[in-house]
Amino acid sequence: MEVIIQPNPSDCAAAGARIIGKLLEAKANAVLGLATGSTPLPLYGELVRMNRAGEVDFSGVTSFNLDEYIGLPGDHPCSYRYFMEQELFKDINIEPGRTHVPDGLADDVGEHCRAYEQAILDCGGIDLQILGLGSDGHIGFNEPGSSLGSRTRIKTLTGETREDNARFFDSIEEVPRHCITMGVATIMECRQIVLFAFGEAKAEIIATAIEGPVSAMVPASALQMHPEVKILLDEAAASRLKQKDYYKEVFAGKPSWQCF
């Protein structure tokens, strides 16, 4: 697990975009795992800029999003399909048919989830997964208590997550109670993972997830078991890490071949 602390979210986004750029240079048909919410917005902004500047090409890329609310159609302004169209897909040269977001209106949710897992396998697996972090320790919508062996499935959102996400809706009553999410084990199978967290509000849960014990009660802590994880934090989100100075020293002393 590599913890990278940058002065602000834009520097984290630029570093994350360079990691993606490097992957796409080496593998033009890479499979990207994508997230929604506030955290990836600076990253998506930077990817759009790089794509327009001809610095990165998405024409061969396939994408899979982590999650979607059950009950929202893809054209609902609060659905994650809509979010991805607005914040990234419409502004980059990705093939629309190769972008995947779970279907919040699937008739048979169990079958849809199995097909989603199969589609990931059929594309050769996810090369790089982008993650944000919920204030309760969730990744995707794997809420505390989610099995570390879980696959794509229906989950019930916690009250804390519904409150956190109420800012995107007119009222908390409108926030769906159920979602479809990739499982913790689905995420752990991605070849490379980059998790972003920004702001003081994420500092405590970042410290728990990175430096606390691995536990299903903090699903993000499972990332400690993954061999290729980068955690990109601004100073505020890193503020409660015990090993903060050590992480900075490691990053400053990286050999050039490891830099991005």
Residues that are catalytic: 67, 136, 138, 143
Q: How far is the CB of 119 from ligand F6R (least distance, A)?
A: 18
Q: How far is the CB of 131 from ligand F6R (least distance, A)?
A: 6
Sole residue written with tokens 């062996």: 149
# of chain residues touching ligand F6R (CB under 6 A) = 14
State the number of CA atoms in the 13 A half-sphere of 118 facing the CB: 6
Nearer to ligand F6R, 21 or 138 (CB): 138
Q: How far is the CB of 66 from ligand F6R (least distance, A)?
A: 4
Q: Does 132 bind ligand F6R (CB under 6 A)?
A: yes
Nearer to ligand F6R, 88 or 133 (CB): 133
Nearer to ligand F6R, 39 or 51 (CB): 39
Q: Which residues of 216-249 are buried (b: 16+ CB within 10 A; e: fewer)?
A: bebbbbbbeebeebbbbbbbbbbbbbeebeebee
The gap from C-alpha 63 to its chain's centroid, in whole angstroms, comes to 12
Q: Which of 134, 137, 183, 219 binds ligand F6R (CB under 6 A)?
A: 134
The DSSP letter of residue 219 is G
Tokens of 84: 């991805």
Q: Does 16 bind ligand F6R (CB under 6 A)?
A: no
β-pairing verdict for 62-65 and 2-6: unpaired
Q: How far is the CB of 2 from ligand F6R (least distance, A)?
A: 19
Q: How far is the CB of 111 from ligand F6R (least distance, A)?
A: 22
Q: Which of 16, 50, 67, 193 binds ligand F6R (CB under 6 A)?
A: 67
Nearer to ligand F6R, 66 or 184 (CB): 66
Phi, psi at residue 195, to the nearest 5°?
-105, 135
Q: Which of 1, 11, 18, 38 binds ligand F6R (CB under 6 A)?
A: 38
Distance, in Å, from the CA atom of 23 to the CA atom of 127, rounded to the nearest integer, reads 8
* Contacts to ligand F6R from residues 174-203, by CB under 6 A: none
- Stretch of residues binding ligand F6R (CB under 6 A), selected from 2-10, 92-100, 138-146, 230-238: 138-146
Radius of gyration over every alpha carbon of the chain, rounded to an integer in angstroms: 17
DSSP alpha helix (H) spans, the chain: 9-26, 41-52, 80-87, 109-122, 159-165, 184-188, 203-211, 235-238, 244-252
Q: Does 37 bind ligand F6R (CB under 6 A)?
A: yes
User: Which residues sit opposite 231 in a β-bridge?
Assistant: 3, 195
Q: Which residues of 151-166 are buried (b: 16+ CB within 10 A; e: fewer)?
A: bbbbbebbeebbebbe
Nearer to ligand F6R, 71 or 249 (CB): 71
User: In the complex, which residues of this chain contact ligand F6R (CB under 6 A)?
Assistant: 35-39, 66-67, 132-134, 138-141
